[in-house]
Structure 1
Amino acid sequence: MPTPEKPRLALIAGPTASGKSALAIALAEQIGGVVINADASQVYRDLHVLSARPSPDDEARVPHRLFGYVDGAAAWSAARWAADAAAEVRRAHETGKVPVLVGGTGLYLRTLLDGIAPVPEIDPLVRAAVRALPVAEAHAALSHEDPAAAARLHARDTTRVARALEVVRATGRPLAAWQAARVGGIGAAVDVRGLVLLPDRETLFARCDARLTAMFADGGVAEVEALLARADVPVDAPVRRAIGVQEVAAMLTGTLSRDEALTAAQQATRQYAKRQYTWFRNQLPAEWQCCTAPNLQLYFAKDG
């Protein structure tokens, strides 16, 4: 008996400012697709300009899903997004559409396709004790309690070192052991056609700088001002950690001048794009095509 053909899932990924959104829309127009957001900042409705969400004109060209659908007061996670994205993928297939995932948040993509490690909730007391440690002390403790993780992680990577340490202390198992038992991924059930945009870095960084300049001029400052005025959005909310928010906030309080804030935001964006560039080059399946000038007919044609 022949094996049933898997439903198609197109995926366009890449660093910020790589042009992936425009390509995803063009692809969706060609193949009858639904564009599904896979960017952690673009889920928040509070940040349309600063997160570079598609314009209303772009959204009118093809259906868009999971853009600006989360309130800034909510602390969204990769797991919550993946559940929403899996539902949108199923809905697209049920209506005869091709889901076109687009984004630059690697953790979101991996969680959706590969599943998530079923790590239990961490005891708040354990978490508080670990997060209170200086990163050097946390890494030293990790060297004793989970040597493999300590060897794998950079000694100054505050977030990842703390996560590995709190997991092994709270559960008695290394984080890697939990990650080896991922659950909930949809990757095995779909035919993933992945395309990763990797422009040359000089071009990419120039686009980052130009886009930040436009964001500051075209409403980004007003977005941050409105966000900061909300008493229900905690200071440590994920939406307030989006690139550009802290820099504009410093400008609004007089800590930085406008030019200084813009320069700082541009630098932060370039650094983020560099990290994304490295991640996409090294972490994704070998069969996904990495390129600067994609051929949509070749990689995503309806009959291909």
Structure 2
Amino acid sequence: MEAERAPVLRDFEEKLSLLKERRPVLIAGPTASGKSALALELAERVAGTVINADSMQVYAELRILTARPTEVEEARVLHRLYGHVPIRDGYSVGRWLSDVELAIEEAMASRRVPIVVGGTGMYFKALTQGLSPIPEIPAEIREPIRRRLAEEGAEALYAELSARDPDAAERLPPSDPHRILRALEVHEATGRPISEWQRQSPGPALIDPATAAKLVLWPDRDRLRARIDERVDVMLAAGALEEARAVMEMELDHDLPGYRAHGLRPLIAHLRGELTLEQAAEKTRAETRQYAKRQFTWFRHQMDGWERMAPPWQSDP
């Protein structure tokens, strides 16, 4: 494995003079691109703390389905913000920003390099550009709107959003129920459209992007798809079905953010007799490939100034 990693790591290390000053390192990339392995390798070399920036890896019950670092890997270096939230709880970018601020401060105070790694582009944007000051939405407003989604469907709520906040509706596809819900919740709770909140000046960034080492892994698309397909097989062999069964038996609201974890819904559908295991596995592969495609689009448009590099498992192009 060292022979595989060496070309990439040598190239990376040439660009990391900031490490000598204990400055933050940010590593983004699409799912299955090898981000966590690279972060672990670097953390061991430079006395770093690996800090999670993946919105699904925060959930305690989803280690296998979200490809969280294993217990053995977590024991090798200090990891923060992995599996620290019960899936029954909602978790937002605002909460992550509060949590990551403390994790970074703790790393810096102990003279460890904060290595923030993950695939959630919005987390990195909030970290380096600040976050619009949208207040938390009370449960008494959030829950009735989510019940309406189940009863009326996304199209009806999208039509209402189009009337209330046409600017937001224009930017959202009618098939994105989670963002439609979010926009309606904000309008209902604050009396102001979410598009108006988003136009406000964001709060201060926690990390100045000019002083951090910024890397986005950019794998070959075909090889990444093959890795995604292989990962699904590995997850199933490791107990992903049992993990999905444990979540199903909790009888939670399926609109919770944790239910967006790739594979969770298809595997639950299999456990309920609605899909064969192979159908559930193929749906998981397909939705994960689609997610990787969206990640590439985000990174291309939102991380233009980041260093793009081939991942450790891929030869230089």
Give TM-score scaled by structure 2 length.
0.81
Runs (5+) with no aligned partner, structure 2: 1-20, 313-317
**Aligned equivalents of 1:42, 1:80: Cα separation in 2:** 14
Deviation per CA, 1:150-198: give whole Å up to 9, x if none.
3333344333344334534654433233223322531339822110012
Q: Choose from 76, 90, 100 the match for 1:75.
A: 90
1:1-304 matches, within 5 Å, as 8-122=23-137, 124=140, 128=144, 132=149, 135-136=154-155, 138-168=157-187, 170-179=189-198, 180-188=200-208, 191-231=211-251, 233-284=252-303, 286-293=304-311
**Aligned equivalents of 1:126, 1:252: Cα separation in 2:** 29
Is the Cα contact below 8 Å between 2:128 and 2:206 reproduced in 1? yes
**Aligned equivalents of 1:212, 1:265: Cα separation in 2:** 7
Give the share of equivalent positions with the same residue, in percent: 44
Is the Cα contact below 8 Å between 1:8 and 1:190 reproduced in 2? no
Give the drift of 1:293.
Answer: 4.6
**Alignment root-mean-square deviation, CA:** 2.7
Letter in 1 for 2:226: A
How many aligned positions are there?
Answer: 288
The SS at the match of 1:8 is coil
Is the Cα contact below 8 Å between 1:18 and 1:199 reproduced in 2? yes
Is the Cα contact below 8 Å between 1:36 and 1:101 reproduced in 2? yes
Is the Cα contact below 8 Å between 2:165 and 2:195 reproduced in 1? no
The SS at the match of 1:261 is helix
The SS at the match of 1:194 is strand
Deviation per CA, 1:237-289: give whole Å up to 9, x if none.
322331111111111121111111111111111111111111111112x3211
Give TM-score scaled by structure 1 length.
0.84
Which is richer in helix?
A: 2
